[in-house]
Structure 1
Amino acid sequence: MLTESSRAADFPSLKGIHYLNTAAESIPPLCVNEAVAEYMHHKSLGMRGRDFHFPRVEECREITARHLGLATDEVSFCSCSSEAYNLLANALQLTPKDEVVVTDLDFPAGATPWLTAPEASRPVTRLWKNREGALDLTDLAALLNERTALVQVSLVSFYNGHRIAFAPLRDMIRRLAPRAVIAVDVTQALGRVALDCQEADIMISSTHKWTLGIHGGGVIGIPKKSAARLTTRAGGWYHIANAFDADRFESARIKPGALSFSVGMPSFAALYALNASLRYLEKVGMDKIIAHADPLVARVHAGLQELGITALSAAQPGCSSGIVAFKHENTAAINDALLAQNIHVMHQVGRIRIAVHGYTTAEDIEKLLATLRSALK
C-alpha cells in the first residue's frame, strides 16, 4: 500500500489510473477479494457453513474493536450506517419536548431520522451551521440546553473534509447539555485517521470507504457506560437473548448496547471482508498510512492555493483528514478533463471532492494538480 511493489501486488486494479475517490468508494486489497471468496466457499457448504460464519463475525468484532479503541462487547454490526441511525432513533424514543442538534456538514443518514419521525413524536431539530467550512463551538453553545437529547456530528465531514475537534466538543456538551447523547459518524475517518472520540456515547460507520471493505455492513460502537440508554427496542431475533427459549412469546430480553443493533442475521460477506481489510490496515500500520497520506493532503491544499482555488475547508495541520473539496463554476468541464487523464474524483454539481488514502501516490497528486492547471487556463 505504501511502496510501489506492495501497491502493485495488493491493488492491481489501480494500474494505469489515479484513484482519488475513496471517500465514496474504496479499492479493496486482494485479501478482501479472497475473504469474500472464502465466504462463498463456506456458504456453499449449506448449514455447515455457519460453523465458519459465526467465528468470523467474532474475529471481525475483535479487530473492529481495536480500531475503534473499545472492548469487543462494545462493538456490533448491522447492514449499513443508515440502519444504525434508525435503530439509534428507536433506542432514544425522543418526543417533541426533546431537542436534537445536527450539523450542515453531516451526511443525511445521521440527520434525517429526527426529521422523518411522526409529527406527534418528532423532536425539535436545531442546525449547527458551518462558518467558511468549519464548525465553531461558539455557535454550538447557543444551541445546547437542558432539553438537548442528542448531538450528532461527523468526526470528518463527507462534504468538505473538516475534522471536528472532539475533546472541546465533548466538554462543552457535557457542561451545557448533560443529558445529551453524543453520536459520532466515523465513516470518513475509520481506516484513515487516528480516532480520538472513544468518549462519545455511540460511534457509527459504514464499511465500504476508508476501511477498504465492501457494501452491506455497518459498524456500531457503544461504550458500556452508555449501553443501557442506547439499547434499541426493535424487533428481530439475533439481538434477543431468549430468542428460542420457552418464554420467547411472553417477553423479549434484548442484549444491551451495541449488541442490540444486530437485529437479524449478520451480513456475513461484508464482515468477512471487513475482518480482512481492517487486519490489512493494521498490518500496514495506521501510523504509517497517516504519515504517508497527510503530506499528500497538504500538497493538494497548497496546489489548489497556487491555482487560486479556495478549498471548502482549510488545511488542518496535525488534525488528519483525507478529504479536500472545492467549488468552481466549471466543475463539469474540470471533471471531464480529469477523467480524460484517468484521474478519478467525486464530482457533484458545482463541487469536486478529492480523497487521499494510503494507496495514493505523489504522482497521483502531481497529475491531479497539473491537469487542474491545464483545465483552468
Structure 2
Amino acid sequence: MLTAASRSADFPALQGIHYLNTAAESIPPVCVTEAVAEYMQHKGLGMRGRDFHFPRVEECREISAKMLGLTTGEVSFCSCSSEAYNLLASALDLKPQDEVVVTDLDFPAGATPWLTAPEHARPVTRLWQNRNGALNLVELAGLLNERTALVQISLVSFYNGHRIPFAGFQKMVRQLAPKAVIAVDVTQALGRVQLDCQSADIIISSTHKWTLGIHGGGIIGVPEKSAARLTTHAGGWNHIANAFDADRFERASVKPGAMSFSVGMPSFAALYALNASLRYLDGIGISNIAAHADPLVARVQEGLRELGITPLCAEQPECPSGIVSFRHEKSAQINEALLAENIHIMHQAGRMRVAVHGYNTAEDIEKLLATLRGAL
C-alpha cells in the first residue's frame, strides 16, 4: 500500500488485477489473514482460547477508539451495522410524536429501522433529499424542529460518494433540533478519510470495507456525554453488568452507552481481523492514504468528464471521499469490457461505482479510463 514493494508484499491478491470496488468489499492485507489464522489456533484450544480471545477484543477496542477519536470506554462492537442501528432504535424508544430525519443517499441499514417499527410506536420519518447528488443544508433546515429526535446520516454516501460537511451540518442540527440525536454511519469513510464527526452522539461502522477487515463485525462509538441517553434495552448477557449475579433473574443492569451494544459473545474472528487491519492502516496513516488516493479520485472525475460522462456527485475538494459513481445506458457492455481487462468496479442497475483506496495506483485509474474509452 502506497509503494510498489509494500503493495506487492501486503496485497498479493492484487497481482494482475485492477481492483476498484473497496466500497463493496475490500482486499485484506496479509496481516489480516494471519490474524484470522491466529484466531483459529486459539479457537483450537477450546475454553482456554478465551484467555487470548478477550485480550484481543480489548486491543481492538483500543485501536478502534484511536481511529474514531474516542476513548476505549466509548467504543464497543456488535455483529454488523444493521444490528447496531436496531439496537439504537431500542435505546431511543421513539414514539409516534417523534420525528426522524434520514437522507436518500443513506444505506438501508441506517434508514429502515424507523420504518419497520410497529405502527403504534412508529415515528414520523422525514426525507432529506439530494439535489444533483448533494445534500443541501438549506433544505435540511426545513425538516428540523423541536420534535426531531434523530438525524441519521452517512458521512460518505455509499451511493455516490457525497461527503457531508459535518461541522456546518452539526451546527444546524444543534440549533434547530436541540433534542435530536446525531447518528453517523462512517462505513464508507473509516480507514480512508480523516474523520471529523467525533462530536456526533453515535458513530457506527461495518468492518469489511475501507477498514480492510472481514465480515461479522460492527463498530459503535458513543461519547460519554451521550451514554445515558443511548443505552439499549435489548436482552443478552455480555452487556449486562449483573448477568451471573445472584439477582440476575430479578433485574438486569445494563452497561451504559457503547458497551450496551455488545449484547452477546463477541465475533472474535472479525475482531482479530479488525485489530490487525486498523493497526496496519494506522501504521501507514490515514492522512498519507488520503494524500495518495485523493488525486486518483480527482483523475477519475476528470477522466469521466473527458468521456462525456457526468459523475453522480460533483467534485468536493473540501470534503473528499474515495467514491465516484456514474450512470450510463451502456453500463452492462461497459462492465463486460472492464471485466475482460480484469478491472473490478461495482455495477448495479445501470449505476457504476469506482472506489479508490491506498492500494490503488495511477495505473489502475488509467487502465480504467482507457478501457471505458474503448468500450464507448
The structural deviation recorded for 1:245 is 0.6
1-side partners of 2:221 and 2:177: how far apart?
22
Where does residue 60 of structure 2 map in the other structure?
A: 60
Structure 1 counterpart SS, 2:289: helix
Where does residue 309 of structure 1 map in the other structure?
A: 309
Structure 2 counterpart SS, 1:219: strand
Aligned-pair Cα RMSD in Å: 0.4
Where does residue 47 of structure 2 map in the other structure?
A: 47
Is residue 287 from structure 1 mapped to residue 249 from structure 2 by the alignment?
no
The CA deviation string for residues 9-49 of structure 1, in whole angstroms up to 9 with x for no partner, is 00001000000000000000000000000000000000000
1-side partners of 2:141 and 2:317: how far apart?
25
Aligned residue identity for 2:136: D
Where does residue 157 of structure 2 map in the other structure?
A: 157
Superposition TM-score, scaled by structure 2 size: 1.00
The structural deviation recorded for 1:280 is 0.3
Superposition TM-score, scaled by structure 1 size: 0.99
2-side partners of 1:13 and 1:262: how far apart?
33
The structural deviation recorded for 1:352 is 0.3
Pairing 1:64-75 to 2, within 5 Å after superposition: 64-75=64-75
The CA deviation string for residues 229-264 of structure 1, in whole angstroms up to 9 with x for no partner, is 000000000000000011111110000000000000
Where does residue 17 of structure 1 map in the other structure?
A: 17
Where does residue 136 of structure 2 map in the other structure?
A: 136
Aligned residue identity for 2:285: G
The CA deviation string for residues 38-87 of structure 1, in whole angstroms up to 9 with x for no partner, is 00000000000000000000000000000000000000000000000000
Where does residue 326 of structure 1 map in the other structure?
A: 326
Structure 1 unaligned segments of length 5 or more: list them.
none
Aligned residue identity for 1:337: A
Where does residue 88 of structure 1 map in the other structure?
A: 88
Aligned residue identity for 1:65: A
Q: Report runs of 4+ in structure 1 exceeding 3 Å deviation.
A: none
Where does residue 248 of structure 2 map in the other structure?
A: 248
2-side partners of 1:285 and 1:141: how far apart?
36
Structure 2 counterpart SS, 1:113: coil
Aligned residue identity for 2:183: A
2-side partners of 1:135 and 1:30: how far apart?
38
1-side partners of 2:319 and 2:167: how far apart?
13
The structural deviation recorded for 1:318 is 3.1
Identity of aligned residues (%): 80
The CA deviation string for residues 218-238 of structure 1, in whole angstroms up to 9 with x for no partner, is 000000000000000000000
1-side partners of 2:318 and 2:46: how far apart?
50
2-side partners of 1:211 and 1:358: how far apart?
11
Where does residue 353 of structure 2 map in the other structure?
A: 353
Where does residue 299 of structure 2 map in the other structure?
A: 299
The structural deviation recorded for 1:286 is 1.1
Structure 2 unaligned segments of length 5 or more: list them.
none
2-side partners of 1:287 and 1:102: how far apart?
29
Aligned residue identity for 1:346: M
Aligned residue identity for 1:285: G
Where does residue 110 of structure 2 map in the other structure?
A: 110
Pairing 1:189-200 to 2, within 5 Å after superposition: 189-200=189-200
1-side partners of 2:171 and 2:284: how far apart?
34
Is residue 337 from structure 1 mapped to residue 337 from structure 2 by the alignment?
yes
2-side partners of 1:335 and 1:365: how far apart?
15
The structural deviation recorded for 1:297 is 0.3
Structure 1 counterpart SS, 2:112: helix
1-side partners of 2:157 and 2:319: how far apart?
13
The structural deviation recorded for 1:177 is 0.3
2-side partners of 1:69 and 1:156: how far apart?
18
The structural deviation recorded for 1:284 is 1.2
Where does residue 202 of structure 1 map in the other structure?
A: 202
Structure 2 counterpart SS, 1:192: coil
Aligned residue identity for 1:82: S
Aligned residue identity for 2:275: N
Where does residue 258 of structure 2 map in the other structure?
A: 258
Aligned residue identity for 2:18: H
Aligned residue identity for 2:158: F
Where does residue 127 of structure 2 map in the other structure?
A: 127
The CA deviation string for residues 249-285 of structure 1, in whole angstroms up to 9 with x for no partner, is 1110000000000000000000000000000001111
Aligned residue identity for 2:266: P
Structure 2 counterpart SS, 1:240: coil
The CA deviation string for residues 283-325 of structure 1, in whole angstroms up to 9 with x for no partner, is 1111110100000000000000111100000111132200000
1-side partners of 2:318 and 2:298: how far apart?
11
The CA deviation string for residues 308-359 of structure 1, in whole angstroms up to 9 with x for no partner, is 1000001111322000000111111110010000000000011000000000
Structure 1 counterpart SS, 2:219: strand
2-side partners of 1:132 and 1:184: how far apart?
22
1-side partners of 2:143 and 2:200: how far apart?
19
2-side partners of 1:187 and 1:238: how far apart?
24
Where does residue 36 of structure 2 map in the other structure?
A: 36
